[in-house]
């Protein structure tokens, strides 16, 4: 999309010497919106081109500002806080952060969430809790139902048929191999169908308090690039996974478990994908190192 926008901004009509210039403000804002930053003016085409320049060394200051916004600022109330995987698992397991039911429900909520909004994930999770009643939603309780039963309860999620199959496979694996519990080793959980690094790492972080990797979704991927912590926005495939590996090189391991909740909440409430609320953000100022804000300022200055 960005490539097409830039290409279409310059006229290449045969027989015409004049070239229609791309408006630097429009292109700059578009690139910034998608997490692209530090723009340099090209004298040959009058088009701003992408140049990543910020250092990841500023992440501690960014982290502190985001924490402040998430605890006392505009980012306090975010869907992830009430409908994220941890909140759902606690609600389904009677507020206990331990036990087989809590651990399995953590896995269920994490497996439901990919490419699905928190509200839909929460609705699907609660439907499964109701399906299992009067029993708690354990692996044994869920395994009693058919794929069609599960599909009907989670059809508000994306790829619900695949997820229904994977959830029942997970329930049977927990029952047959791990005494109705999650595996003790992350490598074993990652062998479950439908459990990749994102789901597996988040599940273990919440259910077992073990951080084996950072859970990177679209919010984390976008914000880490906007702030210059990583430079993976141009990745042609699997950008979030590339962001995960880059983030694990710069963030201390004791921060890994907090990354997802912190940045997802920030992304949902302030640093949105298409219309970030820079007027509410503590990082939207000169010298903060926010590359998104810097790109907007560069575009605005060039057009004035």
Active site residues: 198
Q: How many CB atoms lie within 10 A of CB 76?
A: 12
Among 139, 194, 192, CA closest to 164: 194
Q: Distance between CA 175 and CA 162 in Å, rounded?
A: 20
The answer to whether the CB of 78 falls within 8 A of the CB of 268 is yes
Question: 197 to each of 7, 68, 90, 265, how far by Cα in Å?
Answer: 36, 29, 22, 20
Q: Residue 223: which residues within 8 A CB-CB, separation 6 or more?
A: 35, 263, 266, 267, 271
């Amino acid at each position: 999309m960005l490539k097409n926008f830039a290409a279409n901004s310059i006229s290449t009509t045969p027989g015409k010497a004049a070239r229609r210039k791309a408006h630097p403000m429009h292109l700059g804002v578009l690139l910034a919106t998608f997490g692209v930053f530090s723009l340099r003016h090209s004298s040959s085409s009058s088009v701003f081109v992408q140049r990543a320049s910020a250092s990841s060394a500023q992440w501690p200051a960014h982290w502190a500002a985001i924490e402040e916004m998430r605890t006392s600022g505009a980012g306090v109330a975010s869907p992830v806080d009430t409908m994220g995987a941890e909140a759902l698992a606690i609600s389904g397991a009677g507020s206990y952060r331990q036990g087989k039911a809590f651990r399995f429900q953590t896995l269920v909520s994490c497996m439901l969430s990919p490419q699905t909004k928190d509200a839909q994930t929460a609705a699907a999770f609660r439907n499964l809790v109701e399906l299992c009643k009067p029993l708690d939603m354990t692996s044994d309780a869920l395994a009693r139902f058919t794929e069609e039963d599960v599909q009907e309860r989670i059809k508000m999620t994306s790829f619900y048929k695949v997820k229904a199959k994977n959830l029942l496979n997970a329930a049977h694996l927990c029952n047959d191999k791990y005494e109705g519990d999650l595996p003790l080793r992350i490598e074993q959980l990652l062998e479950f169908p439908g459990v990749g690094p994102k789901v597996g790492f988040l599940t273990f972080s919440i259910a077992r308090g073990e951080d084996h990797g950072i859970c990177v979704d679209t919010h984390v991927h976008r914000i880490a690039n906007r702030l210059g912590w990583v430079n993976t926005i141009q990745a042609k495939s699997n950008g979030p996974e590339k962001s995960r590996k880059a983030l694990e090189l710069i963030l201390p391991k004791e921060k890994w478990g907090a990354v997802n909740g912190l940045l997802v909440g920030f992304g949902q409430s302030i640093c949105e994908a298409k219309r970030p609320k820079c007027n509410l953000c503590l990082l939207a100022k000169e010298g903060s190192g926010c590359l998104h804000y810097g790109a907007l300022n560069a575009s605005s200055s060039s057009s004035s």
